[in-house]
Amino acid sequence: MFRSSAIVGAVLCAIAGFLFVLQATVPNSAEASDRPKSKADAGMTPTKKAEALGVKFEKLKPTYLNPCAKAGKLLFTSGHTSKIKGRLGADLKVEDGYKAARECCVEILRAVWNTHGTLDNLRVVKVLGCVNSHPDFVDQPKVVNGCSDMLHQIFGAKTDGWHARSALGFASLPNGAAVEVEAIFEIKD
């Protein structure tokens, strides 16, 4: 009895989470049109857009684990943690978490560039955002938007940057990081 109730509960929780994330990730055209155009919107390649947003690319030194692994036409990044530490809903606000998720995105882009040599000719497929959350905190999607918004700026909100996403709350993350994000990219033909 307990096992089947737990399974049903987990499935219902997953469905509710999916619907919540779906609602939070649908682009709001009014918000997008209100954003000022930057030089990153001037018809540049994704690599040039990232550089215009301040991302600096350089070869990474090998570490214990691979920050980005290639399998066929897919690039899988490891989870990249923010330098911002703390728990959302306790000592950090949504704005802090948004900045932390953006930090993670920068590290993801560096890892992808290091493996693929460019950000050009890629499509963002999936993003998983993990948020160090107080039990009452429910704005994980708003936090992970820090990563998604940057990917939209670089790859296009309605084209190659339009991705599937999960934004989940966790009781803790490695080294007290506020956010950890991983992503999957497809190498286009």
Across all residues in the chain, what is the average pLDDT? Answer: 85
| The pLDDT of residue 12 is above 90 | no
Residues 76-87: tens digit of each pLDDT:
999 999 999 999
Domain ranges in the chain are 2-187
CA 33 – CA 28 distance, rounded (Å): 9
pLDDT computed for residue 52 by the predictor: 96
What CATH architecture is 2-187?
A: 2-Layer Sandwich (3.30)
Residues 20-68: tens digit of each pLDDT:
433 444 444 334 433 444 544 557 999 999 999 999 999 988 888 999 9
Tokens encoding 19: 């619907």
Greater confidence, 18 or 72?
72
